[in-house]
C-alpha cells in the first residue's frame, strides 16, 4: 500500500451512487480505502492554525472604507475617483487590497437582519419571512398582475437601461408595471412616462405587495442595491452577466449590502475560493472578484432566471453542476429594428466622405475587447495606407494604463492610418455611426456569460460584422457574421478586413442574413412572449408553494412566534426531502474538533484539507458539527473549525443550521465518536437516510465495528484488513 493517502479514492467512494435507504436493517456496503500512516506513539496531533493578527492594512481599511462610502454612492464622483486611481496601478492595487481586506467574512450576526432566527436554517428562515407576509400578499383572482420592474433606467449610461425600455414597450399590455430604480433622475420615453416610479428604499418596505418582481441584474455598481432587495423580495432575475463580482464588491464597499461579496463567494464556491481570494488579495495578485462568478445565491433565490445565451446557461452547469440549470430559461437579447437607415445623411453629419470604407468597433475600449489586436490588424493591412479607409472606435477609452497604451499605439501608426477614438457618444451619434459604417468589428476574450449588445447593434443595422467565437458570439450562424476562431491570429483578422474591403457583395449578404436572423428570433415582441411564459411559470410555481404554506398555516394555527418558527422548520425539511439541492453536499463531521480546547486529529485534518482542496462543480465539501445545545440536536456548518484548520483570516463566525437535501453525502471520519452516537440516538441520521442522504462511517479500529453497525449507515469504510474482517464478522 502506498504511504501517501489517496483522498481521491475516498472522494470517489463517497460520491458513488448508493441504493436508496428503505428503512430496513440491511447490511451496509464495506469499502477499503487507503489511509495515511498512523502517527507514532506520543506524537502530538498538528495544532490548528492560529487566526492571523490584524495587519495595519486591515486596521486602516474600515475607517477609510466608511469615509469612502459617500463617494461610492455617487456615480459621477466614483467614476472620477476610479479614473484617477486606474492611472496609477500601484496605488490602485493598494486601494483594492485595503477594500478586500475590509470585507473578510463577517460574523453572521453582523449580516443577519432583525428577522433572522439563528436556530433555523437559511431555507427555514426564508420560509419564515414568507409566512409572515402571506396574509398581506393574497393572490389576485382576476385582472393583470401587479409587476415591479427593478432596473437601471434612462438616462443612465447603461445598455441595460436601453434594453429595459425596449422590453417595457411590449410588457405593459400584459401587466400593471411599476418601475423601481435607485437613481436621482429617470427620463422614460413618452410612451412609458405614465408608469409609476418607486425608489429602491420604498420597494424594500413594500415589495411584498406585488404579484411578481422582475429584476434586471448586471455586473456593475448600478445594480449593487439589488442584492438586498432580491433577498427580501424574490422574483424572476434577468442575469445579464454570469460573473457578478463587480456589483457584489461595490455593494460591499458602499454599504448597500455589507459583506455581499464575501458571503456570495463562500456560498458559491466554498473554502477553496475564500482561501484563494485571501491569498490573492494579500499578495496583490490581480483582482480576485473577477476570478469567481459568485452568482449561486442569485440563481438559488430567484423564482426563475433568464439568460440570453446557451453559453451563459452552460456556465451555470460548469461552475455549479447540472442542478443549477433547472430553472434557467434562455431568451435572446431583444433588438428593435432601426427607425431610419440613411447612410448618406449619417455620413454627412459625421463628416465622413461618401466613398470612405469605414470600419467601426462599438462600445467602451477595454482589454477584454481585444482593441490592441484590432489596431495591430489594421496597421498590418493595406487599409491603413489608403486615404479612403478609416477605423473609428466608437466608445470611451479605458481609464487605465491599457487605455494609455491604446492611445500610444494610435500615435505610433503611420500618419495615413486614419484611426481615431470617437469617445462616448450620445444615442443619436451612436446610431449615426451604425448607419455610416461598412463593417463592424466586435471581439471578446474571457466571456463571462454576457451577451454583447454592440454585436446585435451592428447586425441590426445590416453591417457585415466580424466576431470571434468567444462566449455567446460562437452561437451566431456562419452566414450572419464573419466568425473568426476564439483564439484567432492577428493575420486572420487582417485578411478578413482586406477581403471585406474588396467584396461589397459579401458585405451585403452578411448584413442581410444578420437582419433576417434578428427578425426571426430577436425582436422585442417575440422575446416578450417568452418573458411572459417565464413569468407565468414562475408565478404558478410560487402560487402553488404559497398555497401549500397557507394550508399548513391553517392546519397548524400557530399561536406564537415559536410555533411559527417550528412550522417554518417543518416546511423547510419537507421541501428539502422533495427537492434535491442545486449541488450535492459532502458533509464531513468535525464535531469532535469544535469543543473548547479541542484540536483536529491527524487523520481528520489530513482528509479534510485534501477534500476542501477539491474543485468539483457538482459537489460542495462542508465541515459540519452536531450542536447538542439545541433541542432537538441539529447539525451546523463548522466554519470556525475549518477556518482554524485552513488558517483563514476571518473573525469568529456564527454557523448556520444545515439545509440537507436528497443526494447529499454525510461522512464521519470516526465511527466511534460520541457526537455521532448522539446524532444516531436523536434519530437525525435515520431521518437523513429516509430523505435520501447517504451516511458513510469510517471505522478506524476492529473494536469499533459493533458500534458502527448499530448506528445505521449506507457505507462503512475501513483502512485495514483487520477492520474489514471485524466488520464481516458483525454482518
| Grid cell digits, residue 665 | 453525502
pLDDT single digits (tens) 398-418: 877 788 888 888 888 877 778
Helices 75-86 & 56-73, crossing angle to 10 degrees? 130
| Average pLDDT over every residue of 634-657 | 89
How is the beta sheet containing 176-181 ordered, strand by strand?
197-199, 176-181, 146-150, 212-217, 236-239, 304-307, 328-330
Question: For residue 431, what is the domain's CATH number?
Answer: 3.40.50.2000
637 pLDDT band, cuts 50/70/90, is: very high
Read off the pLDDT of each residue in 554-567 and give the average, rounded to a whole number. 92
pLDDT tens per residue, range 669-720: 999 999 999 999 999 999 999 888 999 999 999 888 888 888 989 999 988 8
Top pLDDT among 627 and 81 is at 627
Q: Answer whether residue 130 shows pLDDT above 60.
A: yes
Q: Are residues 139 and 62 in the same domain?
A: no
Structure confidence at residue 202 (pLDDT) = 97
Based on the fold, state whether residues 271 and 195 are members of the same structural domain. Answer: yes
444 and 363 within one domain: yes
In a domain? residue 552: no
**Which one is predicted more confidently, 98 or 515?**
515
pLDDT in tens, 403-458: 888 888 888 887 777 899 999 898 899 999 999 999 999 999 988 888 889 999 99
Structure confidence by residue, pLDDT tens digits, 38-67:
444 433 433 433 444 444 545 544 555 555
Give me the residues paired with residue 559 across strands: none
Q: Is the pLDDT at 140 greater than 80, yes or no?
A: no
What total of structural domains would you count in the chain? 4
Dihedral pair phi/psi, residue 330, rounded to 5°: -100, 115
Tell whether 36 and 86 lie within a shared domain. Answer: no
For residue 527, being part of any structural domain is answered with no
The better pLDDT of the pair 37, 377 is held by: 377
680 in the same domain as 629 = yes
Residue 51 has what pLDDT?
40
Regarding whether 365 and 226 lie in a shared domain, the answer is no
Last residue of a domain, one of 330, 357, 387: 330
Does residue 558 belong to any structural domain of this protein? no
Beta strands in 432-528 (DSSP E): 439-442, 464-468, 482-484
Position 560 pLDDT exceeds 50 = yes
Of the residues 87, 102, 117, which one is the last residue of a structural domain? 102
The residues, any chain, with a CB within 8 Å of residue 445's CB and separated by 6 or more, are 368, 370, 468, 470, 486
**Is 109's pLDDT higher than 50?**
no
Least Cα distance to 234 among 300, 167, 329, 328 occurs for 300
Do 310 and 285 share a structural domain? yes
Q: Indicate if 237 and 153 belong to the same structural domain.
A: yes
Q: Which residue has the higher pLDDT, 257 or 470?
A: 470
Q: Say what the pLDDT of residue 654 is.
A: 85
Q: Is residue 391 part of a domain?
A: yes
Taking residues 373-401, what's their average pLDDT?
91
Per-residue pLDDT, 290? 85
- Comparing 658 with 141, the larger pLDDT belongs to 658
* Residue 83: per-residue pLDDT: 59
Inform me whether the pLDDT recorded for 503 exceeds 70. Answer: yes
Helix, strand, or coil (residue 266): helix
Does residue 599 register a pLDDT over 90?
no
Establish if 640 belongs to a structural domain: yes
Q: Report residue 182's pLDDT band, with 50, 70 and 90 as the boundaries.
A: very high
| pLDDT number for residue 499 | 97
Same domain, residue pair 487 and 614: no
The answer to whether residue 528 is domain-embedded is no
Task: With respect to residue 549, please indicate whether it lies within any of the assigned structural domains.
Answer: no
Task: Check which CATH number belongs to the domain holding 707 and give it.
Answer: 3.40.50
Percent of the chain with pLDDT over 90: 57
Q: Are residues 359 and 324 in the same domain?
A: no
Mean pLDDT of 159-176: 94
Q: How does residue 278 score in pLDDT terms, banded at 50, 70 and 90?
A: confident
Are β-strands 619-627 and 634-637 bridged in parallel, bridged antiparallel, or unpaired?
antiparallel
Are 288 and 353 contained in the same domain? no
User: Omega of the bond prior to 370 within 30 degrees of 0, cis?
Assistant: no
Q: pLDDT tens for residues 187-231?
A: 999 999 999 999 999 999 999 999 999 999 999 999 999 999 999
* Domain C-terminal end among 330, 360, 384: 330
Nearest to 52 by CA among 359, 315, 281, 284: 281
Tell whether pTM > 0.85. yes
Residue 299 main-chain phi, psi, to 5 deg: -60, -40
**Proportion of the chain above pLDDT 70, given as a percent:** 84
**545, pLDDT greater than 60:** yes
Assigned domain for 535 exists: no
225 and 357 co-located in one domain = no
The domain in which residue 720 lies consists of 7-44+583-730
Which residues pair with residue 197 across a beta bridge?
179
Q: Are 612 and 271 in contact (CB under 8 A)?
A: yes
Query: Can you tell me the distance from the alpha carbon of 22 to that of 226, in angstroms, rounded to the nearest whole number?
Result: 44
Query: First vs last Cα of the chain: how many Å apart?
Result: 26
Amino acid at each position: 500500500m502506498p504511504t501517501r493517502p489517496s483522498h481521491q479514492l475516498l472522494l470517489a467512494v463517497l460520491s458513488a451512487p448508493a441504493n436508496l435507504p428503505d428503512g430496513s436493517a440491511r447490511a451496509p456496503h464495506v469499502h477499503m480505502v487507503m489511509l495515511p500512516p498512523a502517527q507514532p506513539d506520543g506524537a502530538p496531533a498538528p495544532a490548528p492554525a492560529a487566526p492571523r493578527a490584524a495587519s495595519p492594512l486591515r486596521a486602516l481599511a474600515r475607517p477609510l472604507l466608511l469615509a469612502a462610502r459617500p463617494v461610492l454612492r455617487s456615480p459621477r464622483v466614483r467614476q472620477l475617483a476610479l479614473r484617477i486611481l486606474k492611472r496609477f496601478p500601484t496605488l490602485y492595487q493598494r486601494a483594492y487590497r485595503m477594500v478586500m481586506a475590509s470585507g473578510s467574512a463577517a460574523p453572521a450576526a453582523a449580516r443577519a437582519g432583525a428577522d433572522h432566527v439563528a436556530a433555523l436554517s437559511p431555507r427555514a428562515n426564508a420560509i419564515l419571512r414568507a409566512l409572515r407576509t402571506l396574509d398581506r400578499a393574497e393572490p389576485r383572482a382576476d385582472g393583470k398582475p401587479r409587476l415591479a420592474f427593478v432596473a437601471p433606467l434612462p438616462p443612465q449610461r447603461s445598455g441595460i437601461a436601453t434594453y429595459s425600455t425596449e422590453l417595457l414597450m411590449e410588457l405593459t399590455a400584459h401587466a400593471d408595471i411599476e418601475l423601481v430604480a435607485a437613481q436621482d433622475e429617470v427620463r422614460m420615453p413618452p410612451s412609458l412616462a405614465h408608469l409609476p416610479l418607486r425608489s429602491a428604499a420604498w420597494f424594500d418596505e413594500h415589495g411584498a405587495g406585488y404579484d411578481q418582481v422582475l429584476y434586471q441584474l448586471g455586473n456593475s455598481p448600478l445594480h449593487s442595491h439589488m442584492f438586498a432587495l432580491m433577498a427580501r423580495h424574490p422574483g424572476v432575475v434577468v442575469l445579464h452577466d454570469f460573473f457578478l463580482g463587480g456589483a457584489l464588491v461595490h455593494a460591499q464597499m458602499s454599504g448597500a449590502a455589507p459583506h455581499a461579496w464575501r458571503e456570495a463567494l463562500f456560498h458559491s464556491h466554498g473554502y477553496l475560493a475564500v482561501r484563494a481570494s485571501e491569498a490573492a488579495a494579500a499578495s496583490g495578485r490581480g483582482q480576485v472578484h473577477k476570478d469567481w462568478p459568485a452568482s449561486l445565491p442569485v440563481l438559488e433565490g430567484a423564482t426563475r432566471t433568464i439568460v440570453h445565451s446557451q453559453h451563459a446557461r452552460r456556465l451555470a452547469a460548469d461552475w455549479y453542476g447540472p442542478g443549477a440549470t433547472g430553472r434557467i430559461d434562455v431568451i435572446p437579447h431583444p433588438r428593435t429594428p432601426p427607425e431610419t437607415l440613411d447612410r448618406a445623411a449619417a455620413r454627412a453629419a459625421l463628416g465622413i466622405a461618401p466613398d470612405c470604407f469605414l470600419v467601426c468597433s462599438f462600445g467602451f475600449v477595454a482589454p477584454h475587447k481585444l482593441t490592441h489586436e484590432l489596431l495591430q490588424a489594421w496597421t498590418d493591412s493595406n487599409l491603413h495606407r489608403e486615404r479612403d479607409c478609416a477605423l473609428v472606435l466608437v466608445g470611451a477609452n479605458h481609464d487605465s494604463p491599457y487605455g494609455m497604451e491604446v492611445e500610444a499605439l494610435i500615435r505610433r501608426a503611420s500618419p495615413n492610418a486614419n484611426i481615431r477614438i470617437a469617445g462616448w457618444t450620445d444615442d443619436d451619434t451612436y446610431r449615426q455611426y451604425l448607419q455610416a459604417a461598412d463593417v463592424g468589428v466586435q471581439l471578446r476574450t474571457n466571456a463571462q456569460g454576457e451577451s454583447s449588445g454592440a454585436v446585435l447593434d451592428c447586425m441590426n443595422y445590416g453591417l457585415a460584422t466580424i466576431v470571434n467565437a468567444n462566449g455567446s458570439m460562437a452561437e451566431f450562424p456562419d452566414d450572419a457574421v464573419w466568425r473568426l476562431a476564439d483564439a484567432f491570429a492577428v493575420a486572420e483578422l487582417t485578411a478578413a478586413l482586406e477581403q471585406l474591403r474588396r467584396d461589397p457583395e459579401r458585405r451585403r449578404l452578411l448584413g442581410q442574413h444578420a437582419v433576417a436572423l434578428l427578425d426571426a428570433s430577436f425582436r422585442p415582441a417575440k422575446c416578450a412572449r417568452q418573458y411572459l411564459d417565464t413569468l407565468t411559470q414562475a408565478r404558478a410555481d410560487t402560487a402553488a408553494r404559497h398555497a401549500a404554506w397557507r394550508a399548513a398555516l391553517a392546519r397548524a394555527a400557530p399561536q406564537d412566534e415559536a410555533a411559527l418558527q417550528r412550522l417554518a422548520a417543518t416546511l423547510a425539511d419537507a421541501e428539502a426531502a422533495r427537492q434535491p439541492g442545486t449541488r450535492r453536499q459532502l458533509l464531513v463531521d468535525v464535531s469532535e474538533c469544535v469543543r473548547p480546547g479541542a484540536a483536529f486529529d491527524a487523520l481528520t485534518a489530513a482528509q479534510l484539507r485534501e477534500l476542501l482542496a477539491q474543485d468539483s462543480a457538482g459537489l460542495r465539501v462542508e465541515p459540519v458539527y452536531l450542536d447538542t445545545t439545541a433541542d432537538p440536536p441539529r447539525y451546523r456548518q463548522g466554519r470556525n473549525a475549518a477556518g482554524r484548520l485552513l488558517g483563514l483570516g476571518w473573525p469568529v463566525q456564527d454557523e448556520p443550521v444545515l439545509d440537507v437535501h436528497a443526494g447529499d453525502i454525510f461522512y464521519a471520519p470516526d465511527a466511534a465518536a460520541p457526537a455521532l452516537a448522539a446524532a444516531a440516538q436523536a434519530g437525525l441520521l435515520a431521518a437523513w437516510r429516509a430523505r435520501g442522504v447517504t451516511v458513510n462511517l469510517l471505522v478506524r479500529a476492529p473494536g469499533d465495528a459493533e458500534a458502527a453497525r448499530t448506528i445505521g449507515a449506507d457505507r462503512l469504510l475501513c483502512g485495514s484488513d483487520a477492520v474489514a474482517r471485524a466488520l464481516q464478522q458483525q454482518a
